[in-house]
Structure 1
């Protein structure tokens, strides 16, 4: 479709109009126990019409891309805005919709379509074969989700944005059984290896090496002792820090939660507006950023879906809470600074406050030093389960794999490791942060009514916390 011609034919009927056209292709490839078990492609396409009427935004999406279909969507968006405007919580203006121009494209060495179904299947068959290191391994799987998305946004006051995303998520996991005990190990805790990347991610040698290690660690878990229940130092790997940051920093700092907009579904937040600039969220080693500019991170972009340019911003500096995750609308309502995080999951959803890349900045410690400094502790990797209350305060996390730290050395493997705490107390117990970081993410962050499942990224270091309650399942 010619989006510009469509915009020009409609803009005279309203004071302000924005059209966001989204095309998405998702490819699924999977192998289970050396046999391909799914191999399909889905397509999705549509437009979101957004208008501003009487100080209120109205939306309507449609997959009917004919002139009459788009005109019907415009009429519906205007009607919705007029009907809702007498009950608006804030008088909005075009200050919340800056006119911007620009483009973005994910980095890729090899185009995604250069990896054939056969190439991926052959690698994944060998990967599941590599996991079979013993007859105790009863199930093995290798899966990928490849997503190619194009966003084009035009507005009647001059916005012109084109963004193209190439995203790959992979998951390699194995399950073993011995004497009635079942243990599963994955390559990072589910679909955590998610990046903006090209087909170069399907590196056979690297995948086979990681897959073999997954199988070997399943055997270690089957032979391991249960995690003890006591208070000790806790060292978390970046694949687990991803979820810790996501749940206890990302979600509580979203302004729509603080405003109460999400209380019926995703929940509230323990954070209050007056906490910004005042709350000591964590120890002085804690520095957290919103950064959609990291090249290969899952939620990188140049502009959010309201046209705001994405820039790196510190949310927490030296442990003090400074800034939250709020779009221009939420910033106006709270009179607080925010970030470019007005995001929608597709053409049929209006943008809301969402985290993107929420990162813990690196420290000055080396992993070896962090282990050596620990008299008694536990090193946990890869998320297995999680639970956190509606206010994002009390939490409990389980991991796939752990090792005991005794007198500054990693010793025996432990199975069924878990830990619990409360957000502010936990982050204030942070006593070491590694200089090395890893980039992880998830394509499945749910929020909003109607529900929106969106991609989020986290670049995190190894972190050492003191006096944390740990326990076995």
Structure 2
């Protein structure tokens, strides 16, 4: 990258040393190096909680040889540690060649050279620890609007992840993500009920720097969050009967995540997660014909939106990421599947083979799934409804293990 951070410089040196000594006896290898620093701060009921700092650094080596594939992870980034992880991956590749359920020659080989870095206006280090706790104390105090508020929390979290992916085919993909997540929580007790409301960015972790505090309205949102907690504790039960329903973004993001994101993950469709997270009601035959919703429904996979949680240049298999439609005019077009799943399922997908940590291999994990806007404004939608409910955030939610039938209230 043009302005290499110190962690990336260190990872680059490790990768270069590994490449000179990596065994030449395999068809393909990749090395994914990750350096991650996480910090969390919170103020509860006016008292600062102990701050948390976590450091995580390690490597995942993937080896493809003939029809076998194997993985080896290690936090020992010395030449000896990486050599041991390579040997571990090679042994598993041999086992997979004999016992595996798919031919590893389908596994993608990356030669991509690319870089990415989050846009940060205010770096995490531009504020002192004292400044951050002072801001959180102010936000927490603003939640104290009434004696019925029995718990108040304001928090601020930061994570910086630096990743370098290299391969025997010449790939070199350097990516640096900065995430800031802040939020508020107010719990109210009234009339024998206890209810909690969240806000101030609580459901909107994003890439960026401390400027996200203002865009998340951490301070400005406090009084509303506390007042809604009290109102919710005192509110009557939601009326029964058939109603039109308008979902605001906080609720809609969960609906998109569970009813579109998870069921379209191609490894789930192919049955890989049957014993872990369930199946999908979607089958390969549905793509191109199945009506997922009305003609107004357009959903995209878009890894290029600035600031969104899963904006990146390439996935963890080294496939270049780009915007594609998953659902167009209500019709299902393609799944969320990385290159390996695409070849196994013989269907076009997306660049979303993603690992949740350096010690885990990539799987098909949803990324930026966006419901594209229509032409009507919110007040126009509401004006057309005679008997309806406007829902911002529900209090209960569940869905079956094929991500089909759901309920909330």
Whole-angstrom CA distance in 1 between matches of 2:50 and 2:241? 44
Say whether 1:79 aligns with 2:123: no
* RMSD after superposition: 1.6
2:380 maps to which residue?
369
Say whether 1:124 aligns with 2:147: no
Whole-angstrom CA distance in 2 between matches of 1:198 and 1:394? 38
The answer as to whether partners of 1:28 and 1:146 remain within 8 angstroms in 2 is yes
For residues 323-334 of structure 1, what are the structure 2 equivalents within 5 Å?
Answer: 323-334=334-345
2:111 maps to which residue?
99
3-state SS in 1 of match to 2:349:
coil
Whole-angstrom CA distance in 2 between matches of 1:102 and 1:144? 31
Whole-angstrom CA distance in 2 between matches of 1:18 and 1:383? 43
Say whether 1:12 aligns with 2:24: yes
Against the structure 1 CA distance between its residues 280 and 203, is the aligned structure 2 distance closer, same or farther, given a 3 Å change threshold? closer
The TM-score, its normalising length taken from structure 1, stands at 0.81
Against the structure 1 CA distance between its residues 104 and 228, is the aligned structure 2 distance closer, same or farther, given a 3 Å change threshold? same
Say whether 1:184 aligns with 2:184: no
For residues 169-180 of structure 1, what are the structure 2 equivalents within 5 Å?
Answer: 169-180=181-192
Whole-angstrom CA distance in 2 between matches of 1:82 and 1:61? 17
The TM-score, its normalising length taken from structure 2, stands at 0.94
Please state which structure has a larger fraction of its residues in strand: 1
Say whether 1:389 aligns with 2:400: yes
Cα distance, 1:306 vs structure 2: 0.5
Against the structure 1 CA distance between its residues 153 and 204, is the aligned structure 2 distance closer, same or farther, given a 3 Å change threshold? closer
Say whether 1:242 aligns with 2:253: yes
Cα distance, 1:205 vs structure 2: 10
Q: Which runs of 5+ in 2 are unaligned?
A: 1-9
The answer as to whether partners of 2:190 and 2:230 remain within 8 angstroms in 1 is no
Structure 2 counterpart of 1:286, from 288, 294, 297:
297
Structure 1 counterpart of 2:359, from 340, 348, 359:
348
Whole-angstrom CA distance in 1 between matches of 2:216 and 2:27? 57
Cα distance, 1:94 vs structure 2: 7.0
3-state SS in 1 of match to 2:285:
helix
CA-to-aligned-CA distance 1:2-38 (integer Å, 9 cap, x gap): 2112122114243321111000000010010111113
For residues 162-311 of structure 1, what are the structure 2 equivalents within 5 Å?
Answer: 162-187=174-199, 191-203=202-214, 206-311=217-322
Say whether 1:28 aligns with 2:40: yes
Cα distance, 1:171 vs structure 2: 2.0
Whole-angstrom CA distance in 1 between matches of 2:394 and 2:94? 46
The answer as to whether partners of 2:106 and 2:344 remain within 8 angstroms in 1 is no
Aligned residues: 397
Whole-angstrom CA distance in 1 between matches of 2:204 and 2:282? 30
Whole-angstrom CA distance in 2 between matches of 1:279 and 1:157? 39
3-state SS in 2 of match to 1:208:
coil
3-state SS in 2 of match to 1:225:
coil
Against the structure 1 CA distance between its residues 244 and 204, is the aligned structure 2 distance closer, same or farther, given a 3 Å change threshold? closer
1:156 maps to which residue?
168
Against the structure 1 CA distance between its residues 191 and 11, is the aligned structure 2 distance closer, same or farther, given a 3 Å change threshold? farther
Q: Which runs of 5+ in 1 are unaligned?
A: 398-417, 419-473
Cα distance, 1:85 vs structure 2: 1.1
Whole-angstrom CA distance in 1 between matches of 2:246 and 2:159? 33
The answer as to whether partners of 1:4 and 1:154 remain within 8 angstroms in 2 is no
The answer as to whether partners of 2:296 and 2:374 remain within 8 angstroms in 1 is yes
Cα distance, 1:122 vs structure 2: 0.7
1:410 maps to which residue?
none
Whole-angstrom CA distance in 2 between matches of 1:385 and 1:53? 48
CA-to-aligned-CA distance 1:329-370 (integer Å, 9 cap, x gap): 111111100000000011100001111001100000001101
Cα distance, 1:383 vs structure 2: 4.3
The answer as to whether partners of 2:67 and 2:105 remain within 8 angstroms in 1 is yes
1:67 maps to which residue?
79
The answer as to whether partners of 1:243 and 1:383 remain within 8 angstroms in 2 is no
Whole-angstrom CA distance in 2 between matches of 1:152 and 1:383? 40
